Structure formats: structure tokens, C-alpha cells
Chain A
């Protein structure tokens, strides 16, 4: 089984648990951060770059949009796919996220199947299947 790293960024611990679980079922190894700043610290302290980050929108300190902008400025993270996972189902915000460099957008609440479907669309899921 090949595992790939995924980073779950969400200020809700419950959400991090749920997302982490779902990703592990899809064969990912997960790490987590409670806001964008924590996520960046985590990324900078590690040599392996996750192939995927799940990014919440509303978070303290550094929100999802700010995180996406920060990460997309650094070429070393250009292969890291960014999936925005949020209950902010608003066209304006969706466009903002995509323009900032997010790859896809998933609206809460969602099914595990919907997550798998999105990952496949992002060219991710198949290789990592456990």
C-alpha cells in the first residue's frame, strides 16, 4: 500500500478528526493544523510536502484564503493540491478561492463518496487507494 501525505487544516477539532478519518480510509497519512499559520509552520518544519491539503475557510489567525495565497506564492508547494472544504457555499467566495489558487471546492456537509469523487477529479485518489 502506498500512502501519501495529506494535511487537514481546520479550526474545529471534530472536523479535523472526521476529515482525517475519511482520508485515512482512502489511504492517506494525515497531519493536522488548527489554522493557516500553524499549517505553514508545519509545512516549513517538514521535508516531505503533502500531495494534498484540505483547507477550511473560516479560521482564526490565518484563514483559508490567506493560507492559499501564501502557499501559492511559494513554488516549492506548487504540486500540493488544495481542496477548500467549507460551509461557505457562496459563488463569490468560491471564485475568490479558485482565483487564489485553490484546485477544488467541497461544500459541507458532504459524504465520503463526494470527497473521494473530488479527489479523483483532482487526479489524486486512484494511486493512493489502500
Chain B
């Protein structure tokens, strides 16, 4: 296996920071080596340093994109952390059913949705527990910068390992159908989610609405402090004043972020605009 030299590692770190705000710590060289091996084999005869060089200099957006996508951490699973179901069932949706009862709209954003499990979990929760929403206009947008993650999310096709992680058997039987060795979300549930390519640290589409619920989970932790603050300030503008923000279960916000804990005294990971 080819090893990454210091210069190339620095180039890689700069590239990732520039493209997706990923701040790669100095001690993750081994991770980069493992993740870039395949790409290097395809493009630069296995030479990872040459791959990094090429991706950062050549006017080849495709290669750069491939490299950045290969470095992003996509770890996710269905119904990740009990707080997801709890906050939807106990707090957010009951409150919003009341607050939005006139216009009957509900807008939810799974920002950094990875391969889609988070968005499908939300779609299943709504379907199972809030049948009254069938008469509402429910918008569920799932976005990620990574086209390969989005493609998979859109297909809603998962292997055994993914199906075994977090998805109740009842949901598997209700909402998925077998496709050979894989399982695919049924069209009825897939159609409720609209998938979009959004890089949180670049321009956002003008059409992006203000949301009642934003899921920004397990992504800020990869950003630098400044990028976190910048993204949060923009997320705040896309969160209704009486809406909610949910982070990953180990993530929390500084006071200055424009959000306060949704459950007083409980400082993570569930917030409301201040």
C-alpha cells in the first residue's frame, strides 16, 4: 500500500476543508490511506500521493468529487439514537400539529442525510404514528453533498447489514420489499422524500424553504468551529421561529448559536430557536 507523504496529506486536508469543511485531524493518515486505495488503483496506478496531487490540481471536477466523497464518513442507520423517535413522537410533531393546524403544512429537512436511513425513519414514524398527516402537505427534504450517498438514498435499497441495524422487523415487513438479496423501500414511502444535493458550506438552493424541523445530525462534528457557527447561522434562518433543531446524540451547541435547549435543563441534542 502506498503511504501518504506529509505534503500530500496537507494538500488533502486543505482540499477537504475547502470542499466540504471537513477538518481532518493530523493523525488520520491511516484512514485516508485506507479510503483512497481503491481510487488510486483506478486512477494513478495505486499511487495515493499522485491521486491527491491530480485531484487537487487538474481541472477534473469528477475526480475531485470522487475523492472527496470517498473521504466523507457516511456512517448512519435506521432510527439512530432513541432521541430521534422520542423527540418526534413526544414533542415535535404533537406541538406542530397544533401550531400548524390552520395551514396544515409540515416541513422537515434531513440535512446531511447520508444514505437515507434518517429520512426513511422519519417517513415511517410519521406514517405509523400520525395518520392525520395524510391530509397535510408534508415536505420531507433529504440532502447531502455526496452524490453517491444520495443515489443510494434515493434508491432506498439496503443490504442485510443495514436492514439489521435499528429497523424494527415490523417496519421492515410494512415498508420494504425484497429485491434479490437487498431490500428496497416501497414506492409509497420513497415518494414522500425529496432528495437534493446540498453542500452545507456552499450555496443553498433558493427554493429551500423554512423548516419546522431540521435534522443536522452527526455532521457538524467534522467541521471547524468557524464552519460550525457559519452553518448554524444559516440553518437558523431556515428554521421556523417555533420550529426545532435536532443534532446527533453526542452533539451540543454553544449558547451563541441562536438555539436554546428544547427541553429546559437538557443541553443536548434537541434545540429550538432562541
Contact = CB atoms under 8 A, between A and B. Distances in A.
A110 B177 contact: no
Interface in B64-109: 77, 79
Interface in A100-120: 102, 104-107, 109-111, 113-114, 117-118
Interface in B131-172: 160-161, 163-166, 168-170, 172
Contacts, number: 44
A95 B178 CA distance: 14
A109 B173 contact: no
A121 interface: yes
Contacts of B176: 91
Given A98-B173, A102-B169, 13 more contacts: A84-B169, A89-B178, A91-B177, A94-B172, A104-B168, A107-B160, A107-B163, A107-B164, A109-B160, A117-B165, A121-B79, A121-B166, A121-B168
Given A104-B168, A114-B165, A94 B173 contact: yes
A46 interface: no
A90 interface: yes
Contacts of A94: 169, 172-173
A106 B168 CA distance: 9
B173 A110 contact: no
Contacts of A102: 169
A106 B164 contact: yes
Given A91-B177, A95-B173, A111 B168 contact: no
B77 to A, nearest CB: 8
A94 B168 CA distance: 11
A110 B169 CA distance: 14
A117 B166 contact: yes
Contacts of A114: 161, 164-165
B178 A118 contact: no
> Which interface class (under 10, 10 to 19, 20 to 34, 35 or more) fits B?
10 to 19
Closest 9 pairs (CB-CB, A-B)? A105-B169, A114-B164, A110-B164, A94-B173, A95-B173, A104-B169, A107-B160, A91-B173, A117-B165
B166 to A, nearest CB: 6
Nearest to B77: A117
Nearest to B163: A107
Contact of A98 (B160, B163, B169): B169
A81 to B, nearest CB: 12
A98 B169 CA distance: 8
A114 B172 CA distance: 15
18 contacts: A91-B173, A94-B169, A94-B173, A95-B173, A98-B173, A102-B169, A104-B168, A105-B172, A107-B160, A107-B163, A107-B164, A110-B160, A113-B165, A114-B161, A114-B165, A117-B165, A117-B166, A121-B166
Nearest to B80: A117
A115 to B, nearest CB: 8
Contact of B161 (A84, A95, A97, A110): A110
Contacts of B165: 113-114, 117
In the complex, which of the residues B77, B168, B176 has the most CB atoms of chain A within 10 Å of its own CB atom? B168
A63 B147 CA distance: 45
A91 B178 contact: yes
Contacts of A109: 160
